[in-house]
Structure 1
């Protein structure tokens, strides 16, 4: 296997175009290194992005937060900007793996891996983030259009994640993140939920719901959002929303949990989140 460590984005893109389909990007390496050890990696060339310091940043602007694709999960956790403006992402980042994993894993890598249970993807769905992709040209993709299936995204073979853009929200918006694992937060999620709501008296003016590990990709619960918005949040409405979960989610049974258990827990977490907010 060949190895390249470009110093600029331009050099990295040249490597990717030259060995299109034969190269794999590595940043934190928390997913690709285990694949290499297991002999599962098909690519012949590794392009190491860790020298691209220009992609490691968290910037606050007037109406948005910009996060470089190589920002580590630990940097998200320690960022005052993230804690203040996007506590939903802060809570999810805190629960991603252990300290060693958080020190290495990057937000770009976590999204590009496209696990159905990706810890950062679920809150970013609720936050309506934008993924900025760099290739021959730069393009922006709403995160709900970024994932296309298990471990599959819209990224082309000669593209990388440049940054993630998160719109700033009013401090009136309440947020909550829940992760259910078999053992603790270090485990892969059985179900994870990101929820944000803006209430006016007892009327839900705005709600965004992201789910992970309950479908082939991280998803928004659009139908339940429509049921809640501009309505009084009553116990009866909560029950109706929770019953509708089975039409929104499409989980599988695996070694971690059965399909039925995931549907039930998605309903439990949603009810808990809506009551708390």
Structure 2
């Protein structure tokens, strides 16, 4: 099965971002992709201000437009969005939190995975404005089991192993990774490691680096570093983007997953 990771730079408005991502999804589908993964924060970039003002449930404009597109193209689309969650007290202020959600739509699906591990690191507290999710998600696409994670989740191998134990052969990861000293090396290491310790394919679609190659390596917030990547169960990087807008493709071989798990049965290990 052919998959695609769509790498782009989204902005402030949901409608503008739909107009940006829809032609890229169409291009990926025309090139034969059956599963098309778009970045975290596709509906609204993290740099675009408050997330709660445009957050909407899966019956809202963003999700339904992509649902209609997925039905038209007969593909599965995974794309980052934000849904209303709850109110949360921070330093005496009441904030409207959202869920950081990966929309999963098409081929009989219309649901979301809510990011479990919020990015509370490096003096940033995503949990102030984003409520952590609780549930793992694995969906079936033409007999291929697909697990879903988001960005910072990739630092937690237990989640990827559990998705694999629940049947996932491919784990898709919408991402908006920060740039800066050591960040690209960390991203490459983590995306490869999660493929190895879950013995699964990893398809991680990231926000492109704002400013592209000219800004590469400079410190930034969680607004994108590019380098969307597809890794096989043996840790081989099948495709990797650069810093600019790009689409990368690879073919998923379920037999390769089963063969790798047979040779390296680490998912069966329960401890001494």
**What's the TM-score, normalizing by structure 2?**
0.24
**What's the TM-score, normalizing by structure 1?**
0.24
Q: Which is richer in helix?
A: 1
Structure ID, larger Rg: 1
Higher relative contact order (CA 8 A, sep 6+): 2
